[in-house]
Amino acid sequence: FFSNSFSADTVVFLIIQVGLSYFEIGINGMGSKFFTVKAGLMMNLLHFCYGIGAIAGPRFAGFISTLPNAGTRYIYPAGIPFVFIMMVITLLIRFSPEASETVDTEKNPENIETKKMTFLNALRQPVAWGFGIILGLSGTVEAGFVNWSVLYLQDVYQYDPALGGAAFISFYFILYTFARLLGGFFIEKIGYVNSLFLASISIFVILAAGFVLGERGIWALPFSGIFIAIFWPTMLAVNISIFKENAQVVSSAMLPIAFTLSGLCQYGVGLINRFAGPSWGFRSCLVSSLILCAAIYKLRVYMKKTKSISPAGPSENQT
């Protein structure tokens, strides 16, 4: 609220992002620790709440910015009560010891190694890096919609950001949110890795069709949100199914990898937007989605080869 320059804004946003990153790692780490049964369903339901926030947040911000004698600066102090509520709830939460019981050999007939893993050990796991790269690429496509789609519509097709652009991003997030609400039920049936592979192909096909059709294909693009939505929660569910009680530590390793890759890719999108023109910044998400397909396939083959997981579904890798 008090920043008066771009550099000051940048510093403040970096600090805010550090806090959001801790929150992201913390909440997903807890999910990895406690959602040991039907992890795909439970993680998608958890991330459904993120979708609700993604729909409600921009609308709340828009409402605040249109108030008399207000503006975009007033969005930030208006958010302080929500941060305070989050802080209080976090301080009051208590977990029973039974909620974090470790896997024992009776519940783990495959005798999977349950030795406690450290953060550095987690970083040495090729699968953890594979997870991080996949999450980073999916995050790049997701951030493409959040950060670049409205600019794309404005610069290329002269859409009004407050009308057509807002409707576009709202439609995307509605599909995105309901996919997380209902998608977990299908993921449990199809299998975690198979679901991710099919989702990556679907994202590529929808983006390709939407961009090739030009202005006629604009409203096809948000449908990719149905498949983008399941990536984060389902990858975390795969993590749980493989690493069991060590899933929390592994998630703390793979999420920073994902954030770093996504941030670098976003910078790349910005460079494309600047030097190749506004038509190609958002469209570069198509390349990210293609690499995502290849990364999922490579990880799928690796995990099958090392018998880390059965691509057929979660029934063979969950106790």
Environment class of 59 (CB within 10 Å of its CB; exposed 0-12, middle 13-18, buried 19+): exposed
Q: Output the pTM of the full model.
A: 0.80
What is the distance of C-alpha 76 from the center of its chain?
23
Three-state secondary structure readout of 36-93: CCCHHHHHHHHHHHHHHHHHHHHHHHHHHHCCCCCCHHHHHHHHHHHHHHHHHHHHHC
What tokens does 207 get? 């983006």
> Tens of pLDDT along 65-99?
888 887 788 888 998 999 999 899 989 987 765 55
Q: Is the dihedral of CA 236, 241, 247, 253 positive or negative?
A: negative
The DSSP code for 308 is S
What tokens does 19 get? 């806090």
> Tens of pLDDT along 183-201?
888 998 888 889 999 999 9
Query: Of the given ranges (60-69, 166-175, 178-187), which has the lowest mean pLDDT?
Result: 60-69
Q: Is the dihedral of CA 190, 195, 201, 206 positive or negative?
A: positive
